[in-house]
Amino acid sequence: MVALTEMTNWAVDLIDVRKTYAKNIYALRGVNIQVGRGEIFGLLGPNGAGKTTLVKIMMTVVRPTRALGTILGRPLGHRGKLARTGYLPENHRFPGYLTGLQLLDYYAALAKVPSATRRRNARKLLDQLGLSQWGDVRIDKYSKGMMQRLGIAQALMNDPELIVLDEPTDGLDPVGRRDVRQLLLELRREGKTVFLNSHLLSELEMVCDRVAILVEGLVARQGTLSELTEHTVEYRITFSGDARPLKNKLAGLHAAVDGDMVILSGHDAAKVNAVIDLLRGQGILIESVQPHRFSLEDILVEAMGLTVPQPQGRERQRADRAS
Amino acid sequence: MQFWALIVDSFRESRDRKIFWVMLLIEVLVLAAMACVGFSPGKVTILFGMWEVKTDYFTTGFAIRTDRIATIAVQFLMDVVVGWVGVTLALIATAGFFPSLVERGAVDILLAKPLSRAKLFLGKYVGSMVFVLLHAAFFIVFSCVIVGLRWHAWLPGYLWSIPLLVILFSYVYCVSAWAGIRFRSPVVAINISVAAWVFFAGIQATGDMFETFPEWKENRLAYNSVLVARWCVPKTHDITYLAAKWSGAAVSTEMVPQAHVEEKDRPAVERAGRSELERMNINPFYTIGTSLGFEVIVVILAMWRFARSDY
């Protein structure tokens, strides 16, 4: 029976996870999330959406009000499976009296890693994360970025199947962030599952296979990046001339004039051509035609029920080019 | 492996605190002071022979007299230096262990490891005991050796003070651990545990007064209330009596030269001596057993709170 449950394709299969704090504060209101084995999964949402609470429930730090589902094939809250899980919490605090090596050894011992493996893995990970010279230095001498790297190293000490990282690039400089991204991709290549909670949407876009957007304790969207963005495409046609007389005709084609730009929702090429014909028929000079796919940030803002802020005219075009 | 890692970590944490070294310094100073004094037949030497004081006290019955002085000294050490000062410093040194354990950001990583919260709690708890055990062992073993070499009084029973001191500390530390988990503040933990210690000692002292003045027992309600309270709370002071008894210490009134006691004071001195003798002859199973019962209940309460909380 155990063997069968462990064979599930989902590394994380959360069903109806709820957490209510005292005085009827609903942190999570029935979250369903599935994370496939060997993928990098991103959890995003605004502050107070319940992301960290969900991560803490997965790691048994917080007790759910109600929760079904499995992690690595074992029921949520099962302690044994934690030996195969690595975790880096947000704003972690390490004991300053330990050296880097002592810290890695301590946490790995708690994760039941044999002594010889601990020594080998500690050196390897410190080297991999650029801390090889700092292994024997007390942690209270570390910078914030170094502390973050050490946190990632401790999460990997037990060679976990599932790695849960809460804001892993917090405090890291651009080079450090790139290193972490490469490490995550390397972990995926090794077949490990990464569950990533980050507010840096651009980073999630760069590494995640699938994402879920959590809003007010519920999953608003979930899927691959292309699934989430396939219906969120628009064409932006910039021109020189006066398009105001065409406003009504353009509206008939679901297009709108915005300064010196016409915005056409959807990805219907025939409509794009019709709009171009209409503009040229009026003697307007077409300067550019650009398809525009929504970013993760746009999707998040939309999921939160807010209006996606639109830059105006050429300013908008510059922003698109820059992105 | 997990339990050992927790104990080692607790020791490293305690070693990082300045008070660890302050305690060690006090211990070394007291040991040095003891070593400075030496007894020889007919004289007392101070500062390794720099001064000599000739005395008739050690002319006859040298072995018996140095033994008496040694037992009084170890009784004082156990009661005041190690018992009160040592345990108070140890409480201060370890009061931060549980508040730092449940600190947000630190506890998350520990709880995400494959060990139960009960085991995590007990690992930290036992780790704190190791801190006290090391200090107690250092001080008592060395003081035992100094008393033997410099005072010519060998008191192997004095070594019983090591486990007794750890037990004494644990009676008060359980309250500190509970307060640390409950209030997450070392200062509050120190205050509550010291208040509890004073309360335990107060109950014991009140009980002793009833034994010294039997006429007080006529107030049955007060007497029975004190008896019940005394049975329930840790018998911190009895531990020092047990240590004295097992060290081979004499009753303090025996030290008073009979010629110096006036006739009218003799009944009071004899009564105090009998009372002290009774307290020293207390049943160790009763004393330690009932006190450990209290400790177990408080530890379970603290552990329950730790296990049921969200962090």
* DSSP state string for B106-117: THHHHHTSSS-H
B64 touches chain A (CB under 8 A): no
CB contact under 8 A, A79 and B115: yes
Identify whether residues A215 and A237 lie together within a single domain: no
pLDDT at A323 over 50: no
Q: What is the mean pLDDT of residues A88-111?
A: 94
B18 touches chain A (CB under 8 A): no
For tokens 């794009």, name the residue: A272
Q: Which residues of B touch A98 (CB under 8 A)?
A: 9, 12
Q: What is the mean pLDDT of residues B69-86?
A: 80
| Helix, strand, coil fractions of chain A, as percent rounded to 5 | 40, 30, 30
Identify whether residues A128 and A246 lie together within a single domain: no
Identify whether residues A214 and A268 lie together within a single domain: no
CB contact under 8 A, A61 and B311: yes
Identify whether residues A69 and A105 lie together within a single domain: yes
Q: Which domain holds residue B162?
A: 2-308
Identify whether residues A158 and A178 lie together within a single domain: yes
Give the model's pLDDT for residue A4: 46
Which tokens in the block code for residue B166?
Answer: 């750890």
Identify whether residues A313 and A257 lie together within a single domain: yes
Q: What is the mean pLDDT of residues B284-300?
A: 93
Which tokens in the block code for residue B156?
Answer: 């192997």
From the list A83, A92, A110, the residue facing B108 with the nearest CB is: A92
pLDDT at A310 over 50: no
Q: What are phi and psi of A285, to 5 degrees?
A: -90, 125
Identify whether residues A76 and A144 lie together within a single domain: yes
Q: Which residues of B touch A62 (CB under 8 A)?
A: 310-311
Instruction: Decide which of A195, A224, A253 is a domain's last residue.
Output: A224
What digits encode the pLDDT tens for the residues A123-169? 999 998 889 999 999 999 999 889 999 999 999 999 999 999 998 88
Write the CA distances from B7 to A151, B123, B173, B305, integer angstroms: 22, 6, 16, 21
Partners of A44 in the β-ladder: A213
Cβ-contact B240, B169 below 8 angstroms? no
Identify whether residues A217 and A314 lie together within a single domain: no
Decide which of A84 and B237 is more confident. A84
Give the model's pLDDT for residue A314: 46
Q: Which residues of B touch A154 (CB under 8 A)?
A: 109
Indicate which of A61, A98, A105, A119 best probes the interface with B, i.e. most B CBs within 10 Å of its own CB: A61
Number of domain units in chain B? 1
What digits encode the pLDDT tens for the residues B21-46? 998 999 999 999 988 988 877 778 88
Decide which of B310 and A2 is more confident. B310
Indicate which of B3, B10, B18, B111 best probes the interface with A, i.e. most A CBs within 10 Å of its own CB: B111
Decide which of A16 and A305 is more confident. A16
The CATH number of residue A27's host domain is: 3.40.50.300
Give the model's pLDDT for residue B250: 58
Instruction: Decide which of A191, A224, A257 is a domain's last residue.
Output: A224
The CATH number of residue A256's host domain is: 3.30.70
Nearest CA in chain A to B105: A92
Nearest CA in chain A to B14: A97
Q: What is the mean pLDDT of residues B93-115?
A: 92
Q: Which residues of A touch B4 (CB under 8 A)?
A: 109
A255 membership: H or E segment, kind and range: strand A255-257
Identify whether residues A19 and A109 lie together within a single domain: yes
* DSSP state string for A211-233: EEEEETTEEEEEEEHHHHHTT-E
Instruction: Decide which of A186, A206, A224 is a domain's last residue.
Output: A224
Instruction: List, in order, residues 6 or more apart from A272 with CB less than 8 Å away.
Output: A235, A237, A264, A289
Q: Which domain holds residue A246?
A: 232-322
What digits encode the pLDDT tens for the residues A221-235? 898 888 887 666 788
In what side-by-side order are the strands of the sheet with A255-257?
A: A255-257, A261-265, A233-240, A285-293
Average pLDDT, chain A: 86
Q: What is the mean pLDDT of residues A90-118?
A: 94
The amino acid present at A228, given as its one-letter code, is L
From the list B103, B107, B115, the residue facing A110 with the nearest CB is: B115
Number of domain units in chain A? 2
By CB atoms closer than 10 A (0-12, 13-18, 19+), residue A182 is: exposed
From the list B15, B16, B111, the residue facing A61 with the nearest CB is: B111
B311 touches chain A (CB under 8 A): yes
CB contact under 8 A, B100 and A95: yes
